[in-house]
């Protein structure tokens, strides 16, 4: 249930660019922290749109996707080698960046490169239907989404319920997810339904904060 990997070589710019971005991201601007004494988090700013990105070590970069809205909201999802979310960074409006897993020290995420991808505002109704996701223990959870955005649990032991709603970020819907009988999945969490063109054959992925790493559930139509 992983998506095709982005060609990272095409994303890497001249060596000076990541150094400059890292330097720019190392300030102590209060807007980059939570405002309550939490470690400051900075992430490279991109114009509104959706992007395939590379970040981290230039010799062994991580690929991911970056979503930016005109109201200042941002979402960055970095994937591991299997295409599952390893880290997520999000900002609501012009508030503070938040990280999952949570940051314990000041963190600066500098992008090594970015390529714009198709970006659109998603409506809820087209996602109405029945879906299956495979969990970390290889079991399957069934659920449905109705035209109002309600997530209704299926007949499986792991029960997923919640709500999706329009979001400012392109290619996303806001997600409120509740789980029961789903092993180590959080009981309640807020995140995003993300649907990019390169997710096929998956319909979308559900990405929410988790304990050690983000929860990343790839949903396939039944």
Asked whether residue 64 falls in the same domain as residue 145, the answer is: no
On whether both 106 and 189 belong to a single domain, the answer is: no
Position 136 in a domain: yes
Give yes or no: residues 110 and 176 share one domain: no
Percent over 70 (pLDDT), the chain: 83
Residue 35 lies in a domain: yes
Mean pLDDT of 103-123: 95
Say yes or no: 151 and 83 in one domain. Answer: no
In a domain, 3, yes or no: no
Domain of 76 in residue numbering reads as 8-117
What was the pLDDT predicted at 115?
A: 97
Are 14 and 38 within one domain? yes
21 shares its domain with 62: yes
103 band by pLDDT with thresholds 50, 70 and 90: confident
Do residues 157 and 180 both lie within one domain?
yes
Residue 149 lies in a domain: yes
Give the end of a domain, one of 91, 117, 143: 117
Domain presence at residue 111: yes
- Cα–Cα dist 187/87, whole Å: 19
Q: Do residues 34 and 129 both lie within one domain? A: no
Stated pTM of the model: 0.83
Q: Are residues 113 and 132 in the same domain?
A: no
pLDDT band at 157 (very low <50, low <70, confident <90, very high): very high
Please check whether residue 2 lies inside any domain of the structure.
no
Which of 117, 143, 172 represents a domain boundary (last residue)? 117
Question: Domain for residue 84, yes or no?
Answer: yes
| Shared-domain flag, residues 92 and 173 | no
At 12 the pLDDT is 45
pLDDT value at residue 168: 97
Provide the domain count of the chain: 2
Q: Judge whether 1 lies within some domain.
A: no
Report, as an integer, the average pLDDT of 157-176: 98
Q: What is the mean pLDDT of residues 31-58?
A: 83
| Claim to verify: residue 96 and residue 194 sit in the same structural domain | no
Q: pLDDT band for position 219 (50/70/90)?
A: very high
Per-residue model confidence (pLDDT) at position 32: 39
- Are 105 and 195 in the same domain? no
- CB–CB of 200/96 below 8 Å? no
- Residue 37: the pLDDT is 65
Pick from 82, 117, 152: which residue ends a domain?
117
**Residue 183 has what pLDDT?**
87
User: Is pLDDT above 70 for 50?
Assistant: yes
Mean pLDDT of 144-170: 98
In this prediction, residue 36 carries a pLDDT of 55
Give the residue-averaged pLDDT of 13-26.
38
Of the pLDDT bands very low, low, confident and very high (cuts 50, 70, 90), residue 29 is: very low
Mean pLDDT of 20-38: 44
């Amino acid at each position: 249930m992983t998506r095709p990997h982005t060609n990272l070589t095409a994303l890497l710019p001249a060596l000076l660019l990541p150094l400059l971005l890292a330097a720019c991201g190392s300030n102590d601007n209060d807007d980059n922290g939570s405002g309550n004494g939490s470690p400051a988090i900075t992430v490279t700013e991109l114009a509104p749109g959706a992007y395939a990105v590379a970040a981290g070590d230039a010799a062994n970069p991580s690929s991911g996707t970056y979503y930016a809205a005109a109201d200042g909201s941002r979402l960055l999802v970095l994937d591991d080698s299997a295409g599952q979310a390893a880290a997520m960074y999000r900002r609501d409006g012009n508030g503070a960046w938040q990280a999952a897993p949570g940051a314990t020290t000041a963190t600066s995420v500098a992008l090594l490169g970015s390529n714009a991808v198709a970006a659109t505002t998603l409506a809820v109704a087209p996602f109405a239907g029945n879906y299956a996701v495979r969990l970390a223990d290889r079991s399957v959870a069934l659920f449905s989404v109705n035209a109002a955005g309600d997530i209704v649990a299926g007949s499986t032991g792991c029960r997923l319920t919640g709500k999706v709603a329009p979001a400012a970020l392109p290619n996303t819907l806001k997600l409120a997810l509740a789980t029961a009988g789903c092993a180590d999945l959080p009981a309640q969490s807020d995140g995003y339904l993300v649907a990019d063109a390169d997710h096929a054959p998956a319909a979308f992925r559900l990405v929410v904060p988790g304990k050690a790493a983000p929860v990343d559930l790839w949903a396939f139509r039944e």
